[in-house]
Structure 1
Amino acid sequence: MEGENWQLSNPILGLGVVLATFIMFYIVGYISNRKSTSAKQLYVGDGNVGPVVNGLAMASTYMSLATFLGITALILKLQVPFILLWIQLILAIPLITIIYGTSLRRMGAFSPTHFVRERYGVKASIIAALFMVLVSIMYALGQMIGIAITFETLFGIPYLTGLIVGGLIIVGYITVGGMAGATNNAAIQMVIMALMFIVPLGAIMKAVGGTGWYFPPLLYADMVPAMLEALPTFFDYQFGPKWYFSLLALTIGSLGLPHLAMRIYTASSLKSARSAMVYFAFILGLVFSATYAMGFVGVFATSTQGLEISPADADKLTIILNLVYNPEWVTALVIAGAISAGLSTLGGNLLAVGALLSQDIVATLKPNISQKASLKIGYISIFIGGIISIILAIEPPAFLVVSILWAFGLAGVTNAPLIIVGVWWKEANKYGAIVSSVVGGALYIIVSPFVFPSIVVTGHAVTDGMGLSGGMLAVPVSFILLIVVSYITNRMPSLAGKLTKEEDIKLIERIHGWKDIQTYRYNSTLGAAVTVVVCLGIIVWALMPWNM
């Protein structure tokens, strides 16, 4: 079975599914956001979302279109090692909640950059915001690529046409809906994604001979003996231990992704935010497990069923399996699920861009700006961010998930260290934050093969292309610079009057919920020194040859 042009033979079917999907999402978005008159209402839905809806929305925002397309493509290429990478990234939102989400919520911040501004000052926050705009756009890029692929499959139109048409429709939907619309729609989209992924997967598993088809997320294990017979290397840890350790850089990066952190602030209370984690973990675990099963079945089908998929079509694996083993109307519904996934994550990305530009940059530089003007700038920023992501998607990377992984890495270098260290170590200051973001971010960009192909850490396509080697080098550099520069400048007499140390102490105590002020809390020099030593060891290891 080989297909050069994998697409629906009946475009009318695809058109009907897309129209119904978008009409519903536009209506929900408009109704949800029609009363938004302030920045808070636009970006956090007035902070009044219940735990079930918020948990579903968190999962929907995190999953992205890569769940339907990109992840399965890299499972097809890398097999078990990539599954381990994506499992590790599931920790993102629970870790955000544990490490800093509740603290930032307690201080009244509705974006990570808001915390950076309060903790380190205006200059540090603007630098962090600019990097986060880039991170959000790179994350959105992966979604735009996926949207173009799904439109290409639905209507048989060229990739570029699908990108422009689908991209503009989606950018309009997000601009109209705001965070209230995005949150309510994301909860609906999560249900659609779960049903449109898991149920058709069961039919595919049954068609290829799996007896555990009735619960695809877990019971594809019954196919393991046949897989081992056909492809004995599937479960091999084909890379060295350094490759798996480097995954931590992307996990740390996920803690700094603004569109994920913003979901914590939409909750009606801290208790609600924590309760949402239960629903988030359950639904995300269910669908992610099904994603691994889809990748597994894809490898199985190409190894045993005569299915041939070219490298150029790898991102279409989920769609191709449905085209081969299920009726076309099922494939149309699966594509509706994929579009829902792209919509939910693009909504989070572009709302983050809007918040970063209008609130964290413009409103910071012009604090007396009116609510009406700030809201207008927010809508314009959301739209422009979408247009930029469409333009970048014209010449996409080989795998759509690569741009998403690169965004994880850049967030781990420029944003996550400032938040993690800033919340848990009082000595961190604005000088350390600025040097950490600028130098760490520049280093990560320089060693990226997409920016300077001739300057790489290892010269290995897998580690460099996925941002693993660059992240393993740049993330510890960023932590070291933040700690060391802060420690030194705090002890320089010439800078003593410029550092608001007393205010920092009070802020940290307050966000952790303490009523009394004790300077010894969150102030360990030993802990900072151990962190620096460990990071130095990781840097040395990162620079050593990678034995793949």
Structure 2
Amino acid sequence: MEDQVWQISNPIIGIVIVVLTFILFYVVAYFSNRASSSVEDLYATKGGVGPITNGLAMASTYMSLATFLGVTALILRLQAPFVMLWIQFILAIPLITIIYGVSLRRMGAFSPTHFIRDRYGKSASIIAALWMILVSIMYALGQMIGIAVTFETLLGIPYMTGLFVGGFLIIGYVTMGGMSGATNNAAIQMVIIALMFIVPLGAIMKAMGSTGWFFPPLFYADMVPSMLEALPTFFDYQYSVKWYVALIPALTIGSLGLPHLAMRVYTASSLKSARSAMIWFALALGLVFSATYTMGFAGVFEMTANGTHIAAGDTDKLTIILNLVYNPEWVTALVIAGAISAGLSTLSGNLLAIGALISQDIVTTLKPNLTNKTKVRLGYISIALGGVAAVLLAIEPPAFLIVSILWAFGLAGTTNAPLIIMGVWWKQANRYGAIAASLVGGIIYVVVSPFVFPEIVVSGHALTDSMGLSGGMLAVPLSFVILIVVSYIANRIPSLNDEKSKLEINKLVERIHGWTDINPKRYNSTLGAFIITFVCALVAIWAIMPWQF
């Protein structure tokens, strides 16, 4: 059977809609960022974003192009267990806000590595920043390639043309708008994403005969009997308990280390606003994530029950294909605009994170006496350079790109999250433990991935290893163990410590939690640290034991 080419027959419709969306984003970026005169304006909008806008922007930044393209292929492979991945992602902002976001917002930080610098010193912050630049570039690279592929396969625009034209248009509006423009645009993009995903999905389900078409995220139950008849294993949780446990260190804790998510919390107008924003985030993200799973369900149903042939290489386009099958082409063009909006919102967050990491967490750390004007200019240049790097890397993208974004979660969870979590909640954490955990944990995670040394892997299951699940289950708990043990030992070597530094750490930790007095016993439990070490050691040992699937 000859594979069908899934593409809009008249790409002009799609191109016009995409151009109009770019014009809208440029206008919003220009008017949002006209008054920026400091790095606080550029990266944190002076903390002036309301809860609804911030919550929508958080959800949009997290959504990524994979929501429209790519995730459906993963649903096809994982089926019901994919819901567990979605749950880890939805937990991200609430956990960031509860565990450390509010504390760092109170501190006045506008990036996680800003906290690491003040908490552990320059060396630890530069090491963490370098890891986070790698994570952010991998994240941005996936979006950049996805947008170019969208232009190529769905609109008929050559890959290189789509990459350079689309890439530099994106760099332009993100650099122009800063965090203020990116936040306002991301909130708009969230509305576009939701409408362009859920409304066409309702039409698809109605055409399929579903009576729950009016609310696709949940009301597809009437299609379940037919699905079970066509594919009885769809709702089976076929993996072992260990596989599901591995999601927590790799994805849940990994989310806590992602800089572009944490930066959204710091833009809140108040601590109350930050807490309210996470509710809007969970609502918006849950709505679209539930619809995404329904879209994957509908795609599998189309292939198994209705017999539509979709080539293996096209399964990541199920969202577009279903719209081409059941909806008019102009609707598909709107869906493509929604997909590009999802990629743009995530790219904005990544490029801003890269800009902050380079300009504030590396250059300004090494050159603290730069003028405010120079810092702002350096910020704009860094944002643009991050985008250019993503475009250039996308010319010959790495073969593992399909799962590189998920793999990046585990790297963030290994090299960044333990430093922040223990730094906020345990006063005994110090720079020696932080540096050792970030370096050793990060190197172990990279080594056991299938992308560097394919013969050195943890589980031996291709999908599990490539998604970073098995590597995260080993490296993330090891990073916590290394940080706690090295810090504990270093604190008992007099030559490595001074009372002034301990007093400053006490003051910092108390201040970010809102205390006005200093109590050395607060956040200083050796027993709590021992329990964390013991549990993490058990998880790491379990990770290297034989995996059963």
After TM superposition, the score normalised by the length of structure 2 is 0.97
Following superposition, the deviation at residue 396 of structure 1 comes to 4.3
Contact 2:6/2:154 (8 A) holds in 1: no
Task: Measure how far apart 1:324 and its partner are.
Answer: 1.2
- Aligned ranges 1:109-508 → 2 under 5 Å: 109-249=109-249, 250-396=251-397, 402-497=403-498, 500-508=501-509
Q: Distance in 2 between matches of 1:242 and 1:160?
A: 42
- The code of the aligned residue for 2:191 comes to V
The amino acid across from 1:19 in the alignment is V
Q: CA deviation at 1:11?
A: 1.4
Name 2:101's counterpart in structure 1: 101
Q: Report the alpha carbon displacement of residue 363 of structure 1 after superposing the two structures with TM.
A: 0.6
**Residues 234-275 of structure 1: CA distance to partner in whole angstroms, max 9, x if unpaired?**
111111111110000211010111100000111111111111
Amino acid at match of 1:424: W
Q: Is the 8 A contact 2:478 2:540 kept in 1?
A: yes
How far apart in 2 are the matches of 1:454 and 1:464?
Answer: 11
Post-superposition, which runs of at least 4 consecutive aligned residues in structure 1 deviate over 6 A?
none
Contact 2:79 2:235 in 1 (8 A): yes
CA distance in 2 between partners of 1:100 and 1:27 (Å)? 34
Query: What residue number does 1:69 align with?
Result: 69
Distance 1:156 1:192 in 2: 23
CA spacing shift, 1:70–1:333, aligned 2, 3 Å:
same
Q: Structure 2 CA distance, aligned partners of 1:399 and 1:12?
A: 32
Q: Any idea what the Cα deviations from partners look like across 1:143-192, whole Å, max 9, x if unmatched?
A: 11221222123421333432232222212221111111000001111111
Name the stretch that deviates more: 326-335 or 307-316: 307-316
Cα distance, 1:449 vs structure 2: 1.5
CA RMSD of aligned residues (A): 1.5
- Provide the rounded CA distance (Å) in 1 between the counterparts of 2:400 and 2:152: 16
What per-residue deviation string (whole Å, max 9, x for no partner) do you get for residues 379-438 of structure 1? 221122112222333444678551211111110000000000111101000000000000
Whether contact under 8 Å (1:154, 1:332) holds in the other structure is no
Report the Cα distance in structure 2 between the residues aligned to 1:277 and 1:32, rounded to whole angstroms.
23
| Identity score, percent | 74
Letter in 2 for 1:512: H
The question of whether the paired residues in 1 share the 8 Å contact of 2:171 and 2:384 is answered with yes
The one-letter amino acid of 2:359's match is S
Q: How many residues align?
A: 548
Q: Which residue of 2 aligns with 1:537?
A: 538
Structure 2: state its 5+ residue gaps. none
Distance of aligned partners of 1:381 and 1:4 in 2 relative to their CA distance in 1, 3 Å threshold: farther
TM-score, structure 1 as length reference: 0.97
Q: Deviations over 1:276-304 (max 9, x none)?
A: 12211111111111011111111111111
Using the TM superposition, give the Cα deviation of residue 454 of structure 1 relative to its aligned residue in structure 2, in angstroms: 2.7
- 1:516 corresponds to which residue? 517
Structure 1 window deviating more from structure 2 (114-123 vs 78-87): it is: 78-87
- Tell which deviates more after alignment, 455-464 or 130-139: 455-464
Query: Which amino acid counterpart does residue 388 of structure 1 have in structure 2?
Result: A
Name stretches of at least 5 consecutive residues in structure 1 with no aligned partner.
none
Are the equivalent residues in 1 in contact too, given 2:410–2:468 (CA < 8 A)?
yes
Distance in structure 2 (CA, Å) of the matches to 1:371 and 1:362: 13
Question: Deviations along 1:67-97, whole A, 9 cap, x unmatched?
Answer: 1122222001221112211222210000000
